[in-house]
Structures are given as C-alpha cells and as structure tokens.
Amino acid sequence: MALLEVNDLHTYYGKIHALKGISLTVEEGEIVTLIGANGAGKTTTLRTISGLIKPHQGNILLEGEDTLKYAAHDLVFKGIAMVPEGRGIFSKMSVLENLEMGAYSRTDKNGIQKDLEWVFELLPRLRERQKQVAGTLSGGEQQMLATARALMTKPRILLMDEPSMGLAPVLVEAIFDTIEKVNKEGTTILLVEQNATMALSIANRGYVLQTGQIVLTDTATNLQKNEMVQKAYLGIE
C-alpha cells in the first residue's frame, strides 16, 4: 500500500476545470516530483491533497484512509504538512516562535524539544537566527524556516511547492541539499518545482503535468533522458 494515493482527481476553480483526472502515488521514503509549465495544475494538486481545495471527483488516500472527510487543519494531525509557494512564514514572529507554531498540533513536549534540536542540527543557520524576526531573514533562510516549521508537525509526508522560487542559484543548491537531507532522515516528500533539472536530480520518480493532466510518469533518471522532457523542461535541444 502506497503512503499517498491519489485517484482520478477532478478539481475546479469556478467553471475552470483545473485538474482533469489526476492519479499518482507516493511510496514511503520517496521523493516524487511534479513538473510542468505554469498553469499545468501542479500547485492545485498540492492544494487539493492538503485539503485547501475540495475536489469535485476522485479520492485521496493516506495509508488507505480517505482524507477528503477531513478539513485542512485536521490533515496536519493526520501527517500531511505543506510548505507553500511564497513560504508563508509568520514574518513578525521570531524564528523560534515560527518553529513553535509548527508544533501547535502536538502535545509531546519532550518530542517537540527533541525535534527542535533536530531541525537546528539539520539547518544550523536557524539556530544562529532563532531570536531574529523572521521577516528580516534572507529569501533562502525564509525557505529553510518554512521547511523546518512544517517538519515540526512531524509529518508523514511533506508537500513542497516551488521551494527554489526567487532564489539565487547558490541558494537553490542549498535548498535542494536540505530537501535531500530531510528525505534521508526519513521524511517522504512530494515536490512541485519549476526547476525541473534540480527536481529530477534528487527525485526517485516524477510526473509530468500538462493542462491539468498527467501526460508522462517514470523514474527520475528516465525522465531526464526523455526527449520531450529535455526539450520542454530541461532546456536541452
């Protein structure tokens, strides 16, 4: 049984048919990436999985349990955490307060403290900045904070939406190094990323979306070799 299973998902924005029968799976321990052009439906897929949008048709299963009966905030308790596009940190709070907000769904004080220490070891820059107001961090540091805050929920699967957006190339590499570290520590990741080259370099498998439909799925290695993917998303002629 897959950790996450999405079946025949149809999602609308008003009369706009944004997702047209999306089906995908994510196995425990994987990094799976969704690639595609702007408007292909990548963010809508994540927002639907996280409960922020209710689909018109289809189902979403987390270890076999139907998630559509739960509100978005309840899915955090179930183990689905999202790092949204644009980071969405609490800009007027300190770094530490942001991380503590990430653990709001938990009551295990010892476990929270242990995980706080874990994210500081994973992202030592945040330890250095823990008393700093989050809105004064650099773009890369804010992305690290958004990721760490989501990790403080102790997720079974982490949904990441465009983590490299707006970052300088050197920071992009740092963010993808962080994603790999998080995965190696045991967190399953579903990654939406405009930078298909970087996404496929760290993913196990990938899905290619076009206008709300999955047109191709394969291992990341095979997708990197696929002629259509190379021309459309990797800049290889």
Using an 8 Å Cβ cutoff, are 216 and 29 in contact? no
Give the integer Cα–Cα distance in Å for 25 and 62: 10
List the domain range (segments joined by +) for residue 165: 4-85+155-233
E strand intervals along the chain? 4-13, 16-26, 31-36, 57-62, 65-66, 80-83, 157-161, 188-192, 205-210, 213-219
187 domain residue, yes or no:
yes
Q: Structural domain tally of the chain?
A: 1
Q: In which band, very low, low, confident or very high, does the pLDDT at 172 lie, cut at 50, 70 and 90?
A: confident
DSSP 8-class letter at 136: G
Sheet holding 4-13, edge to edge: 16-26, 4-13, 57-62, 65-66
d(CA 233, CA 194): 8
User: Does the pLDDT value for residue 87 go beyond 80?
Assistant: no
Asked, for residue 128, whether it belongs to a domain, the answer is no
Mean pLDDT value of segment 118-144:
92
- Residue 235: which region, alpha, beta or left (left: phi > 0; alpha: psi -120 to 50)? left
Structure token pair of residue 152: 């403080």
How many residues comprise the chain?
237
Percentages of the chain per state (helix, strand, coil), in multiples of 5: 40, 25, 35
Residue 69 covered by a domain: yes
Q: Give the span between the Cα atoms of 127 and 231, in whole angstroms.
A: 42
Q: How far apart are CA 35 and CA 214, in angstroms?
A: 10
The answer to the question of residue 20 being in a domain is yes
Query: For residue 139, is it within any domain?
Result: no
Inside any domain, residue 90? no
CATH for 25: 3.40.50.300
Span 171-190, average pLDDT: 91
169 is a domain residue: yes
User: Which tokens is 82 given?
Assistant: 């999202």
Mean pLDDT to the nearest integer, 49-67:
97
What would the mean pLDDT of 63-70 be, rounded to a whole number?
96
111 in a structural domain: no
- Global pTM reads 0.92
Element spanning 43, H or E = helix 42-49
Mean pLDDT of 139-163: 92
Q: What is the pLDDT of residue 56?
A: 96
Report the range of poorest mean pLDDT among 46-50, 85-89, 120-124, 154-158: 85-89
DSSP E strands: which ranges in 41-100?
A: 57-62, 65-66, 80-83
